[in-house]
Amino acid sequence: MDKILNYINGILTEPIEGKFFHTINPAIGKPYALVSDSDKADVANAVAAASVAFPKWSATPARDRSAILIKIAELIERDLDKLALAESIDQGKPVALAKALDIPRAAANIRFYATAILHESSEAHFTNQEAINYTQHTPVGVVGCISPWNLPLYLFTWKIAPAIAAGCTVVAKPSEITPMTAYLFSKLCIEAGLPAGVLNIVHGVGAKAGQAIIEHAEIKAISFTGGTATGKIIAATAGPMFKKLSLELGGKNPNIIFTDCDFEKAVATSIQSSFSNQGEICLCGSRIFVERPLYEKFVTEFTTRTKALIVGDPLDEKTNLGAIASEAHLTKILSYIELARQEGGTIIQGGNQVKLIGRCAEGYFLEPTIITGLSHTCRTNQEEIFGPVVTIMPFDTEEEVLKYANSTTYGLAATIWTENLTRAHRVAAKVNSGIVWVNCWLFRDLRTPFGGMKQSGIGREGGFEALKFFTDEKNVCIKL
Ligand code: NAD
């Protein structure tokens, strides 16, 4: 079996204790590779390498940092098919999605920050005729980047690209459930000539390797994407150490559909925003609110199209929904479907595990599921399920739907469907989410601030926000 090794100080290396665990291919339900089960000592080595590399890397001119990053982006593009296949096998997503979304976006993340640093400027403030203040941005030092399993290489690169571009050195940990593409990525970094120690990738479980990163005194900032419960642990550990924190956490996103929407676009896009990547995207709209005059028509059409979705082998190009990322996650989603039944919901479509035949007979597949008849306050509508499960609820007024939309502890993303521009602005202003899409979903411009309100996170990624996060600001005041 292939071994997924750590990448420390420019070298692929086994964990010090020599321990490994299996990673599972969720489409066949079987182990297919061994993952380094790293601990504190491996993290300490990675931090030491990053600390040694920091002075030189942070002093490397932006154009040289940029050139190496561009080379890495080119190598990702060269290996598109190989990386997409690896992502699909490791995560369960359709290979077609990995080819169209995950891997191109990983290359785009790197290119974006490789070029952004060529266009940086800093602020100056003139105090009457008496003084000039200017702001310096300096890389914070060694930083920790921790990412989840749903969009593995996409979210991994979304963190490390701005960190490295800004001149920081990095100790990163991908999810233990989907470590393969980060491992392949470390080989591309070596091929591209990234200096030793600039990026160190430590594989292992969150409570051990991840926790060791959070706790390490020399790590100055933590950029984390994952669940809200883990975010709380990280904040509790890193907060008292006064580390900079960027937390991108869970969501329970409302999808608000008004009668005056473009019906065809609203239905077609809602199918995507509900079930893309098996609903395992933090931005998926899991609570669909439909204005009452349109409710029956929407439910009928949405259900018909959901029924037509193909749950199947992720390697089959025709598949719409692949495997759920892990058996534990499948069990969790099924338990929420059962909860919805207990709470009085009606499963109008799906609700069951899918048993495929042939190669994928033991895989973790689930029907795309639609639930109606629930109140906005029940647990099914308040807690993140993170799977191909949506609820649909009617509403009568804007005021009412805003109350429903804003009723959870989350505030990541919202989608609004209306052809009335005034209404779009009004509702967008009142919905408590860090990201609002009007008449579209997951339409991304990497320059925009990305992140959540309330328990969906702290801080923003994207654009110059992320570069700023990885730098310290210093004001220099010169008296004239
Ligand atoms: P998770 O919180 O279980 O794990 C995320 C990462 O944190 C993994 O690498 C894990 O090993 C690590 N980790 C776990 N415990 C840790 C600890 N004590 N210290 C340090 N690291 C630790 O999340 P997940 O199940 O991998 O991902 C799903 C969650 O991520 C969902 O809640 C989803 O909404 C969220 N998510 C959010 C965004 C966003 O941008 N807001 C994007 C994608 C996913």
Residues 188 and 285 in one domain: no
Domain count, the chain: 2
Residue with tokens 């559909």: 257
What gap in Å lies between CA 54 and CA 63, rounded to an integer?
Answer: 17
CATH number at residue 398: 3.40.309.10
Closest by CA to 348, choosing from 300, 395, 297, is 300
Residues 121 and 208 in one domain: yes
**Which pLDDT tens digit goes with each residue over 253-292?**
999 999 999 999 999 999 999 999 999 999 999 999 999 9
456 CA: nearest ligand 1 atom: 41
Q: Which residues are part of the catalytic machinery?
A: 248, 282
Residues 275 and 419 in one domain: yes
Distance 147 CA to ligand 1 centre (A): 6
| Pocket (CB within 6 angstroms of ligand 1) | 146-150, 155, 173, 175-176, 205-207, 210-211, 214, 225-227, 230, 233-234, 248-251, 282, 384, 386, 412, 452, 457
- Ramachandran region, residue 368 (left: φ > 0; alpha: ψ -120 to 50; beta: rest): beta
**Which pLDDT tens digit goes with each residue over 141-186?**
999 999 999 999 999 999 999 999 999 999 999 999 999 999 999 9
Is the residue at 450 inside a domain? no
Is the residue at 216 inside a domain? yes
pLDDT of residue 292: 98
Residues 440 and 336 in one domain: yes
pLDDT of residue 357: 96
Q: How confident is the model at residue 26 (pLDDT cuts 50, 70, 90)?
A: very high
325: containing domain: 254-445
Is the residue at 280 inside a domain? yes
Per the structure block, which two tokens stand in for 76? 């990702």
pLDDT of residue 320: 98
Average pLDDT value over all residues in the chain: 98
Residues 393 and 469 in one domain: no
Residues 352 and 473 in one domain: no
CATH number at residue 239: 3.40.605.10
DSSP codes joined into one string, 212-256: HHHH-TTEEEEEEES-HHHHHHHHHHHGGGT-EEEEE----EEEE
Per the structure block, which two tokens stand in for 395? 């509403």
Residues 264 and 231 in one domain: no
Residues 237 and 263 in one domain: no
Q: How confident is the model at residue 18 (pLDDT cuts 50, 70, 90)?
A: very high
Is the residue at 451 inside a domain? no
Residues 76 and 146 in one domain: yes
**Which pLDDT tens digit goes with each residue over 387-411?**
999 999 999 999 999 999 999 999 9
